[in-house]
């Protein structure tokens, strides 16, 4: 596997003009709520929820502090509320 190309300092930070936004805080924005991204992880949670046998569990693996537990709990709570 080739070594990825080094990033230039200008590629590490993207500055934007706050004046371009029509809101004061993100609480004012309407938009989709829920879990963004991680479609593969969400598919795995759906698969795990679909197993209707005893002895099967969901296992979330990843670095500490990345929101694994809160993501799974939010997904399960949303699914329970919808049923």
Q: What are the residue ranges of helices labelled H in 1-38?
A: none
Q: How far apart are CA 18 and CA 72, in angstroms?
A: 33
Q: What is the pLDDT of residue 36?
A: 65
Residue 18, domain member (yes or no): yes
Residue 4, domain member (yes or no): no
Residue 1, domain member (yes or no): no
Q: What is the pLDDT of residue 34?
A: 59
Q: Locate tokens 């670095």: which residue? A: 63
Report the largest interatomic distance among the alpha carbons of the chain, rounded to a whole angstrom: 55
Residue 70, domain member (yes or no): yes
Task: Indicate whether 80 pLDDT > 70.
Answer: yes
Residue 2, domain member (yes or no): no
Q: What is the pLDDT of residue 33?
A: 61
Structural domain containing residue 13? 9-29+36-82
Q: What pTM, to 2 d.p., does this model score?
A: 0.50
Task: Give the pLDDT confidence of 15-74 residue by residue, as tens digits.
Answer: 889 899 988 888 888 876 656 667 888 888 888 888 888 998 888 888 888 888 888 888
Residue 72, domain member (yes or no): yes
Look at the chain and report how many structural domains it folds into. Answer: 1
């Amino acid at each position: 596997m080739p070594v990825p190309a080094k990033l230039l300092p200008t590629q590490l930070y993207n500055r934007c003009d706050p004046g371009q936004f029509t809101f004061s805080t993100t609480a004012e924005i309407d938009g989709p709520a829920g879990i963004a991204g991680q479609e593969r992880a969400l598919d795995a949670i759906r698969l795990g929820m679909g197993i209707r046998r005893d002895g099967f569990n969901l296992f979330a693996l990843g670095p500490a502090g990345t929101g694994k537990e809160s993501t799974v709990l939010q997904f399960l709570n949303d699914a329970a509320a919808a049923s």
